[in-house]
Structure 1
Amino acid sequence: MKGQGLPGSYTVRAGIAAFAGGVILLYCVGEIPPWPIPVIALIMGFFLARRRSVLLRRAGVLLFGLSTGLTWAAWMSSDRLATRLPHALEPGTHLVEGYRCSLVAPGAYHSLRFDFCVTRWPEAVPGHPIAARRLRLALYGAEPSLALPRQLRLKVRLKVPHGSVNPAGFRYETWLFRHGFDATGSVRDWSPQRVPCGLGCHYHAWREQVAGILAGAFGRLDSYPLIEALLMGERRLLSADDWTVFRKTGTSHLIAISGLHIGLVGVFVGGLVGGLLRRWPGGPGARWRRRLVFGASLGACAVYALLAGFTVPTQRALVMVAVSGLVYMRGRQSGYWTAWLAALALVLLLDPFAPLDGGFWLSFGAVAGLILIFSTRLRPPGRIGTLLLAQLGVMAGLLPILMVLGLPFSVTGWLVNLVAIPLMSFLLLPGMFLLVPLGLLVPGSQPVVDRLLDWGLGGFMTGLGFIADRSPEGLALPASLAGLVGGMVLVMLFPVRWWTRAGLLLAAAGLLCGQVTAFAGPGRAANDAVTVPELWIWDVGQGLAVTYRDGNKVLQYDTGPGSPAGYTAVKEALLPGFRSTGIRDLNWLMISHGDADHASGLDELLAHIPVERQGSGEPRRVEQRAGPGARGTFSPCRKGGWLGASWIDVWQDAGAGPGNAASCVLRIRRNGYAIILPGDITEEQEHRWLRSHPPLSGLRRIVVAPHHGSRTSSSPDWVRQLAPELVVFSAGYRHPYGHPAPEVRRRYRAVGARTVNTATSGAVHVRLENDAPSLHVERADAPFWIESPPDQ
């Protein structure tokens, strides 16, 4: 038995794991616990850990570690929430002084985007300081070549961190919290301003100087966006098409500077220093050689991490390199899991927000898969065998993690990476590290360096693009099935008998083929059936996307907005939402009219989801948005029909011109309910629709407000005659258009309607129960870092 005061190594590892579990537990629960709870648990764990009984001591260490991790994460999260911009400061403009703490990136709608670190709020009331320290800003209408000064005085319009909240898909608000942004906004005016420039300010100035030197020397090259991404971690110049290529080939991890890049630098520098030391006659002994190699390797990794912006992935990779180096210094070839646990705990100690980052789970999941595969082998399987085993082990380990995170698994990605990882590791990255300094420092070498860089990196992108054009879309599996398949593949890679390996391979292949056949083959599985008809009004910002389900039949009305930067509501909200709710095809797709906030992302939707029937109020205009393959596939808004047991009336103002007035209006009737989906019709079309569709008595009416609650719609007659029980506004949070208009909201409330706004409630889910509609809004169940703002 160990001494009473020092638990054994097993207990220490359990305590480290418990600390990591405590940090992660906070984000799983989604609530910051009252402070007495973790403090009492901390005290109890401390006293239990000092008991004589081994069982009690280990239980105490577990409780102490768990409560320490929970307390640490809760304290840091509370501190971060305390610096958010108060809602009271959202109206109007504000003056801020500070410095740019990122490079300037081109954005959508002719904007420049950058992060801004505030040093002073000139208009803050004495005694009531504003705590917001880091802002994410956009400057609209500026020339792309504008050289924005580093130290600035800005007039800004700000919003609290806010994003769409849907049942599944990317949550911008989580991303903002995870990266420490206290507000977002736009710049109304700017001027140079001298501000105190500390270490952080000088660091960002140094990075901008390096970026300027790189751009001056290599900015004219077609491959320059990739050069800047790989050398400095700046992906600002990569296009949406580039990211589509990386996603479809499963190579996004090669572009985001992380463990692969940091590790390569460490191995290269460590190998170089180790080789020199071995050739040094009478040099230091083995222990000091290890120390010098470790110091040089870690120093080189730290410099590269700083050059790459010291982002979260680089910090995480640096910690893992440091822990691996310590194991190397001790001269051990074992203790892989201890090193993995130590790195995990250290990352969470330095960055307790890491569990909100998908890269955290992918990084540690990949390393865990490699440890599982190689720690059980007495002899290495050779270079080719090592590469194959490593790639298969990582693929199997990451498959369930990708599915839990809602990320598609690239079907061809693991094969592509068999070539791409060695190519990047042993040719492209080392070549770039040598060629870029050569082109900068050696006169006359620039033309040759330029050709080599464009040939190597350009050829790499061309090859990936060729494969991406011929690759199927990413595979989405249930998390349980992904875990089962991944586990089978991992066991198959262990040193087991050949018939065991063959059986596991056949079983995994059978499960995957069965899943693909069920969801993509000719006899594909039908949609999951709902027992009660339901309506989803998705949170898509300033736009509209509505899904109606009756049994296993599905109607989609509009697809929401998109942007030139590559965002679409289809990709970020609808497709993830369909996967989470069991929708695999659409029986009816109706696009009200051709405006971008109602009809974006159609090409993505039609590429992923089969559609039986398509219609629109502006079919030709919508087909242009959907791409060449959709020509002639959308019928005019003329004929209604059945969807399951629901009858759908279809109407359009025959004399209306193009645009909002051409919206196709749907009325869905089912079980004593009437649901009205009016698109963006104006007051004139409302009157005409009411004349041809007089409200039927005895029906519970649910209305999606015309034109997002604009003043030009929801006329007094419309509101009075419909007298809806529930009205949903689909609008953007504090959008410049000001939807919904205050007088429109008052008008609906005056007739007893309940009003809900997706901007402040998130996605709205309505179930048409027999006695009354059941309403649920997504922000009601959101975790603590996603708040419910005041109703607009």
Structure 2
Amino acid sequence: MVAIRALGRDAGAAWARWARAQRSTGLGATHALAALAGVVGAALLPHLPPPWMVLACALSGLILSLLLRMSRLRLLGVLLLAFAWTAGMATLVLHARLPPQLQGQDLHIEGRVVGLPEAAADAQRFDLAIEHASRAGRALPLHGRVRLSWFGAAQAVTPCQRWQLTVRLKRPHGQVNPGGYDSERQAALNGLIATGYVRDARRARQLGGAPVCVDAMRARIAAAIAAALPAGDRATPLLQALAVGDQRGLGEAHWRVLRATGVGHLIAISGLHVGLAGIAGALLVYAFTWLWPRVLLHWPRRVLAAPVALAAAWAYGALAGYGLPTVRTLLMIAVVAWASTRRRGVGGMQTLALALLAVLVFDPLAVLGAGFWLSFAGVALLVYALQPGRGWRAWLAELGLAQGVMALALLPLTVLLFGQASRVGPLANLVAVPLMGFIIVPITLVASLLLVSGAPGGVALTRFAAWLMRAQWDLLQHMAAWPWALAWLPWAGAGAFVLACIGVLWMLAPRGVPARVLGLPLLLPLLWPSLERPARGDFQAWVLDVGQGSAVLLRTPRHALLYDAGPRYRSGFDLGEAAVVPSLRALGVQRLDRLLIGHGDADHAGGARAVLAAYPHALLQGSEPERVGLPLLPCVRGQRWIWDEVEFSVLHPRRGGAVSGNESSCVLAVRGRGGTLLLSGDIGARSERALAQDGPMTGHASQPLVLLLAHHGSRFSSTDALLDALRPRLALVSAGYRSSYGHPHPDVLARLRVRGVPLFNTADHGALRVDMRADGPHLMLSREDAPRWWRE
């Protein structure tokens, strides 16, 4: 990654020199859009092009942009250059990742802690920038950032410390589910080359730390805010996020409120905060020139204020951690400062275009992040839609109108990126933007400076900001609790998204554009999509990718059942909340008729409470209610119901049977007109022998059968007796990537291979979709059907 950054700086400097040479051509919005098209075209490729193609695009783009005078061909040259630059950067990012042969090996690394370490219940988690790596005494060409967990650390890890550690690493690999979080894309975006854990704490050695470190200052300010407020004050994590972008204290409850009210952009340090810092710097210059006006005889006030405002904004951007909205605002301030010192006027769209070009040059992969699109699209549409007036009345009217404009302008993007839309967002922002942006944030920043400098008044000012924040948060919580506050919307397709964007541009067009209200119907395909549903007698099954756990969604034309709810770990991380519920919403499941928990193990039942919170009217059924901690209707052999001509049958456990643990798992057979799916829970060989004797209960022998392997492919499940009795056509397994349990076991793989049964694993293929139609099962593999260059 060091080489990548150096290459980025060199190429960026060359591009900047070329931009200065082309100033007479009016470098602006059209060039920025051409560059954006090239960057997006490369960043969203399923597979990266070969090096010769990248080089050909770069040379062609260079020739077209430098040697020809036709504007359209020059724009094509910019597009090709941007495409080649992005593809080259993406290739370097992939090459920097941990080599596959080093996965699971003991490596000795030295590096520096970057960012703010997180202290969880079970471990400390932090990012380490590798400076040196070796294995068995031999140096390794491994450089970049790794994310580590340190279980049972003897001392706290703090920012900027240097450590010598023995670690075990693996390449970035995450779950792939509909509507799910893409951790592999985030790894590419953040430059993470591996994740892992500290292997031998006794051999860990601290090597010292950097004398000057921005992250250490951020941690110091966050600690000072916590010390100034009572322990457990609910305003503490919110003020820490506002002051220095420290979001470690924000839990899912906070994010639930922020999503429902649409004010997350205010908690994460945004362009508004950075702009306020720049304004504060400019005001200092104005105050200085008011006290010593003779200075203005030599330099105009604007020329003096511009560099000071930029320096103030840049200093605060460093404390904020240089998030994308921060960087975008800094670049815009830099453009305005440059124009002011040269006494030139720069329009809002021109300023935004130059900032966009700068971001694309220095970090083209930023387009993979939601923040890039929300940041630039939001500002661009505000400039496009609003016409600034004069006076405080016009300013207030513009502030109120801006909330409605932003809510409408970003609606297609929020549905595309998050599958949701806040109905109360305009109203919540109308209150929160002035209170948080113009009162709480400045007070918090001043209080932070007083706290770290030891000046009097810091504690009192912090507590005043906390009081305001609590009042603001109470209002936001109240609004988030409204039942209609947040709408979850399934993905309606690219065509609906394009139509919605056209509709938004039409509705926000300047006055004089005719029939702007006709843009509204173009939003309907996005907001009310037509969902694909099975025909009567058919059903659809999604085996979700939840690692070493289980969660299977079963759908008929009018009903939905969830078998197991995904794992919840001792650290508190809940895949029911993080993966299962978002997948259900992305698939358009508005009502869950039944939640069936196979048995009480945490990898099956851990996410049940999160699912119930999202779907409180679901009928609860399962085994081991005392372990699950929920009132479950018993799951007993012989239970049967029919939905839309699809039969659901419980095959195990038997009524009155003295079984517990894995052997008490509910075994569910789902039979449609095209075949049967058997969900076998965690049963072992004994229960499988009993089940094999009841083979006819799973369907007709002539129908194909799809089997979800018991116990994630454990050695003592999926026995010869069961496989011979069922004769499955397909086998599926839900297991963890590089499972420490060795699932699926080689003996199971051999038994399937002998019988010619193909096996598909969520760890390898992501979520597995089975459409059981009249002509048999149809399988869809998420990783293969939606490939991305950044995925394993």
Q: Are 1:98 and 1:195, in contact at CA under 8 Å, matched by a contact in 2? A: no
Deviation of the 1:750 alpha carbon: 2.0
Rounded Cα–Cα distance in structure 1 between residues aligned with 2:652 and 2:40: 52
The corresponding residue for 2:56 is 40
Query: Which residue type is aligned with residue 317 of structure 1?
Result: T
**What secondary structure sits across from 1:542 in the alignment?**
coil
Rounded Cα–Cα distance in structure 2 between residues aligned with 1:583 and 1:434: 47
The corresponding residue for 1:29 is 45
**What secondary structure sits across from 1:651 in the alignment?**
strand
Superimposed CA distance per residue, residues 580-621 of structure 1 (whole angstroms, 9 cap, x where no aligned partner): 544433444422223332234444444545867543234565
Alignment of 1:559-638 (within 5 A): 559-563=565-569, 567-609=573-615, 613-618=619-624, 622=628, 624-625=629-630
Deviation of the 1:530 alpha carbon: 5.0
State the TM-score, normalized to the length of structure 1: 0.86
**What secondary structure sits across from 1:733 in the alignment?**
coil
Q: Alignment partner for residue 426 of structure 1, among 434, 438, 462?
A: 438
Alignment of 1:629-778 (within 5 A): 639-654=639-654, 655-671=657-673, 673-694=675-696, 696-768=700-772, 773-778=777-782
Q: Report whether the alignment pairs 1:462 with 2:474.
A: yes
Deviation of the 1:398 alpha carbon: 0.7
Q: Report whether the alignment pairs 1:528 with 2:533.
A: yes
**What secondary structure sits across from 1:101 in the alignment?**
strand
The corresponding residue for 2:406 is 394
Q: Report whether the alignment pairs 1:16 with 2:23.
A: no
The corresponding residue for 1:540 is 546
Rounded Cα–Cα distance in structure 2 between residues aligned with 1:92 and 1:39: 36
Q: Are 2:705 and 2:727, in contact at CA under 8 Å, matched by a contact in 1? A: yes
Query: Which residue type is aligned with residue 763 of structure 1?
Result: A
RMSD of aligned alpha carbons: 3.6
Deviation of the 1:357 alpha carbon: 0.6
The corresponding residue for 2:149 is 138
Q: Are 1:779 and 1:786, in contact at CA under 8 Å, matched by a contact in 2? A: no
Superimposed CA distance per residue, residues 620-667 of structure 1 (whole angstroms, 9 cap, x where no aligned partner): 655x45xxxxx5778767521223232222122231444322221111
Rounded Cα–Cα distance in structure 1 between residues aligned with 2:172 and 2:453: 44
Change over 3 Å in CA distance of 1:729–1:253 after alignment to 2: same
Alignment of 1:331-480 (within 5 A): 335-375=347-387, 382-441=394-453, 445=457, 448-470=460-482, 472-477=484-489, 478=492
Alignment of 1:239-278 (within 5 A): 239-278=251-290
Q: Report whether the alignment pairs 1:173 with 2:184.
A: yes
**What secondary structure sits across from 1:650 in the alignment?**
strand
Deviation of the 1:682 alpha carbon: 2.1
Question: Could you tell which deviates more after superposition, 253-262 or 529-538?
Answer: 529-538
Query: Which residue type is aligned with residue 226 of structure 1?
Result: L
Rounded Cα–Cα distance in structure 1 between residues aligned with 2:791 and 2:507: 45
**What secondary structure sits across from 2:466 in the alignment?**
helix
Query: Which residue type is aligned with residue 442 of structure 2?
Result: P
Deviation of the 1:86 alpha carbon: 1.5
Rounded Cα–Cα distance in structure 1 between residues aligned with 2:763 and 2:777: 21
Rounded Cα–Cα distance in structure 2 between residues aligned with 1:483 and 1:415: 27
Q: Report whether the alignment pairs 1:81 with 2:85.
A: no
Deviation of the 1:444 alpha carbon: 5.8
Q: Are 1:85 and 1:130, in contact at CA under 8 Å, matched by a contact in 2? A: no
Q: Report whether the alignment pairs 1:309 with 2:313.
A: no
Query: Which residue type is aligned with residue 393 of structure 1?
Result: V
Change over 3 Å in CA distance of 1:50–1:204 after alignment to 2: closer
Superimposed CA distance per residue, residues 415-471 of structure 1 (whole angstroms, 9 cap, x where no aligned partner): 111111101122101111222333444566465345324322333333322332335
Query: Which residue type is aligned with residue 753 of structure 1?
Result: V
In structure 2, runs of 5+ residues without a counterpart are 1-20
Change over 3 Å in CA distance of 1:567–1:409 after alignment to 2: farther
Query: Which residue type is aligned with residue 245 of structure 2?
Result: G
Rounded Cα–Cα distance in structure 1 between residues aligned with 2:243 and 2:90: 32
Deviation of the 1:266 alpha carbon: 1.0
**What secondary structure sits across from 2:486 in the alignment?**
coil
Rounded Cα–Cα distance in structure 2 between residues aligned with 1:185 and 1:766: 33
In structure 1, runs of 5+ residues without a counterpart are 520-524, 626-630
Count of aligned positions: 762
**What secondary structure sits across from 1:103 in the alignment?**
strand
Query: Which residue type is aligned with residue 675 of structure 2?
Result: Y
Change over 3 Å in CA distance of 1:13–1:42 after alignment to 2: farther
Query: Which residue type is aligned with residue 780 of structure 2?
Result: H
Q: Are 1:97 and 1:122, in contact at CA under 8 Å, matched by a contact in 2? A: no
Q: Are 2:282 and 2:305, in contact at CA under 8 Å, matched by a contact in 1? A: yes
Rounded Cα–Cα distance in structure 2 between residues aligned with 1:159 and 1:219: 41
Change over 3 Å in CA distance of 1:271–1:245 after alignment to 2: same
Deviation of the 1:389 alpha carbon: 1.5
Deviation of the 1:560 alpha carbon: 1.5
The corresponding residue for 1:628 is none
Query: Which residue type is aligned with residue 641 of structure 2?
Result: G
Q: Report whether the alignment pairs 1:94 with 2:107.
A: yes
Superimposed CA distance per residue, residues 110-134 of structure 1 (whole angstroms, 9 cap, x where no aligned partner): 22111111111232664x7232421
Q: Are 1:527 and 1:552, in contact at CA under 8 Å, matched by a contact in 2? A: no
Rounded Cα–Cα distance in structure 1 between residues aligned with 2:31 and 2:136: 45
Q: Are 2:114 and 2:159, in contact at CA under 8 Å, matched by a contact in 1? A: no
Q: Are 1:41 and 1:63, in contact at CA under 8 Å, matched by a contact in 2? A: no
Deviation of the 1:473 alpha carbon: 5.0
Question: Could you tell which deviates more after superposition, 736-745 or 152-161?
Answer: 736-745
Question: Could you tell which deviates more after superposition, 414-423 or 729-738?
Answer: 729-738
Query: Which residue type is aligned with residue 708 of structure 2?
Result: V
Q: Are 1:298 and 1:322, in contact at CA under 8 Å, matched by a contact in 2? A: yes
Deviation of the 1:216 alpha carbon: 5.1
Change over 3 Å in CA distance of 1:278–1:188 after alignment to 2: same
Deviation of the 1:176 alpha carbon: 1.4
Q: Alignment partner for residue 122 of structure 2, among 100, 106, 110?
A: 110
Change over 3 Å in CA distance of 1:156–1:264 after alignment to 2: same
**What secondary structure sits across from 2:56 in the alignment?**
helix
Rounded Cα–Cα distance in structure 2 between residues aligned with 1:149 and 1:65: 39
Query: Which residue type is aligned with residue 418 of structure 2?
Result: G
Query: Which residue type is aligned with residue 766 of structure 2?
Result: G
Superimposed CA distance per residue, residues 526-560 of structure 1 (whole angstroms, 9 cap, x where no aligned partner): 87345864332111111111123344543332222
**What secondary structure sits across from 1:475 in the alignment?**
strand
Rounded Cα–Cα distance in structure 1 between residues aligned with 2:243 and 2:25: 40
Query: Which residue type is aligned with residue 77 of structure 1?
Result: A
Question: Could you tell which deviates more after superposition, 533-542 or 698-707?
Answer: 533-542
Deviation of the 1:182 alpha carbon: 0.7
Q: Are 2:86 and 2:364, in contact at CA under 8 Å, matched by a contact in 1? A: yes
Change over 3 Å in CA distance of 1:484–1:702 after alignment to 2: closer
Question: Could you tell which deviates more after superposition, 776-785 or 607-616?
Answer: 607-616
Question: Could you tell which deviates more after superposition, 396-405 or 677-686?
Answer: 677-686
The corresponding residue for 2:163 is 152
The corresponding residue for 1:522 is none
Query: Which residue type is aligned with residue 27 of structure 1?
Result: A
Deviation of the 1:85 alpha carbon: 0.9
Q: Are 2:165 and 2:205, in contact at CA under 8 Å, matched by a contact in 1? A: no
Deviation of the 1:203 alpha carbon: 4.6
Q: Alignment partner for residue 185 of structure 1, among 188, 196, 200?
A: 196
Query: Which residue type is aligned with residue 296 of structure 1?
Result: V
Change over 3 Å in CA distance of 1:196–1:747 after alignment to 2: same
Deviation of the 1:75 alpha carbon: 1.2
Question: Could you tell which deviates more after superposition, 699-708 or 317-326?
Answer: 317-326
Superimposed CA distance per residue, residues 457-495 of structure 1 (whole angstroms, 9 cap, x where no aligned partner): 333333322332335352234476677677667655666
